[in-house]
Amino acid sequence: MCFGGDLVGTATTAPTEDTTEPTVWGLIGNTPLIPIATDAARDTGGRLFLKAEWLNPGGSVKDRPAREIMRVGLAEGALPRKRLLDASSGNTAVAYAMLGAAARIGVTVCVPANASSERFRLLAVFGAEVVETDPMEGSDGAIRRARELAAAEPERYWYADQYGNRANPVSHYRTTGPEIWRQTGGAITHLVAGVGTSGTLMGAGRFLKEKSSDVQLISVEPDAAFHGLEGLKHMASALVPGIYDPSLIDRQVFVDTESSESAVRTLAQERGLFVGWSTGAALVASDQLLGEGDATVVVVAPDGGGRYLSETRRWARG
């Protein structure tokens, strides 16, 4: 995979302060689209864009659903009276911790013990309570532990359940989808996103299909149950999120960890853009789409590679 071209941001509006919420809450969203010229795009006349979600204040796309979920808790009166409790592979946990600190909401998160050390450090900075879970059980183990805690202490915890909370896809329906439609001038033909909770694809994808039924939704999954793509689920072997609706998906693409890492390394070394592993997987999938003909492909880039720097074994291969 070879990348070239100029770096251009295409956000069309700036965040505005919402005086009813902490200032940092109003900084979420309106992330730019970055055009990426690839060999496949040049050969077919297609266009590829990255939706740069690592530019959210909490560093990931998960700022969007975390804010929407917390708004629900506040509206119900459960927050800040109770502590927010949820399971996360890392990014949503950081988003909760950041937003909770700004709003004086206590946050407890169940996170697999093998999540990157950068995530654990950020959680400590924001003052979240962290419950480490069995690394071999991944996000599913974290979910099971969060459910146990919620059942054992219902008066202490408000279980946010990002994997089953409709506010997750709603956040993307209200923000991510409209931003992409506006930024591409309605020209998008394919939305490509890795599936973890599946909220991004379910919410933004639903919005885009309502705008044009021709938009294709492409889900990206690891090609095996045991993989190195943090945040992504191999649905056939995992606890399937309650918000996931496979009927909305036009195509599933399965990508191996090594190809994803190679795409991340190439993008960093040829474009100066350091993204996370799940973005690498989505870039591999996008190459297949661009190779099939003229297309305008938007890849959701959930986070930056800086959250994985401690995993030096990966870079030793380069």
The strand pair at 47-52 and 129-133 is best described as: unpaired
* C-alpha span between 93 and 87 (Å, rounded): 7
Amino acid at 135: P
Question: What are the distances in angstroms from CA 55 to CA 24, 37, 59, 189?
Answer: 13, 21, 6, 24
Catalytic, 171? Answer: no
**Is-catalytic flag, 278?**
yes
**Exposure string over 196-210, b if 16+ CB within 10 A, otherwise e:** bbbbbbbbbbbbbbe
User: From the candidates 51, 62, 82, 233, which is the catalytic residue?
Assistant: 62
- 167: Cβ contacts below 8 Å, ≥ 6 apart: 65, 68, 69, 71, 72
Active-site residue, selected from the candidate residues 89, 116, 219, 278: 278
Considering only CA atoms, give the Rg of the chain. Answer: 18
- CB under 8 Å to 166, separation ≥6 — which residues? 243
Tokens of 75: 């509206």
Task: List the catalytic residues.
Answer: 62, 278
